[in-house]
Amino acid sequence: MTEHATPTVTHDDGVQSQGLSQLLAKRIPAGLGAVLVTLLAIASFLVWVWSLVVTWISHIEWGLPFFQVTVAALLVVGVAFYAYKTLAWLLPLIVSAFWIWVSVVPFQPIFQVLFQTITVTALIAAAVFAVQAAAEAEKARF
């Protein structure tokens, strides 16, 4: 049986189309990535501390939901530390911000459960996708 190579899709100008994974796997200078991820970790820590303090003093309306901030910060910063040489960590960052927003906005209970389920699933998928994109960036290119 012969194997046939499948051609890649190109645009009219001859530029090869890229998927989201390849776009997020673009490498950035390691120094810039380290600085961006460090700033992200510091900002996440400060938001986490603020959420913890307002939860302790019983003024939850002043801050963000502590559980969601904790999970989002750990997940996003963990992915960012793993993928600091790429921009793959931006996808979980955006989805986690949306998850926290959904947690703050008062929806009807059934919609709150539905939106929470959708955003948590999207957050897990975004984290897996970002790790895969970062791993793809490490592969040798020919």
Give residue limits of the domains in the chain: 28-138
- pLDDT score recorded for residue 28: 84
More confident residue, 132 or 18: 132
Nearest of 37, 115, 102, 46 to residue 76 by alpha carbon: 37
Percent of the chain whose pLDDT exceeds 70: 85
Per-chain mean pLDDT for the chain: 85
Distance CA 100, CA 120 (A): 10
Q: Do 48 and 61 form a contact (C-beta atoms < 8 A)? A: no
pTM: 0.78
**How far is residue 101 CA from its own chain's centroid?**
15
Q: Which two tokens stand for residue 7?
A: 């051609």
More confident residue, 140 or 111: 111
Percent of the chain whose pLDDT exceeds 90: 56
Question: What are 11-66's pLDDT values in tens digits?
Answer: 555 555 567 767 777 888 889 989 999 999 999 999 999 999 998 998 878 888 99
Distance CA 44, CA 85 (A): 19
Q: Do 90 and 77 form a contact (C-beta atoms < 8 A)? A: no
Is residue 94 helix, strand or coil?
Answer: helix
Question: Is a pLDDT exceeding 70 seen at residue 8?
Answer: no
- pLDDT score recorded for residue 37: 93
Rg of the chain over all Cα atoms, to the nearest angstrom: 19
As a whole number, mean pLDDT of residues 61-75 equals 90
Distance CA 122, CA 128 (A): 10
Distance CA 127, CA 23 (A): 15
Residue 6 binned pLDDT confidence (cut-offs 50, 70, 90)? low
Question: Is a pLDDT exceeding 70 seen at residue 123?
Answer: yes
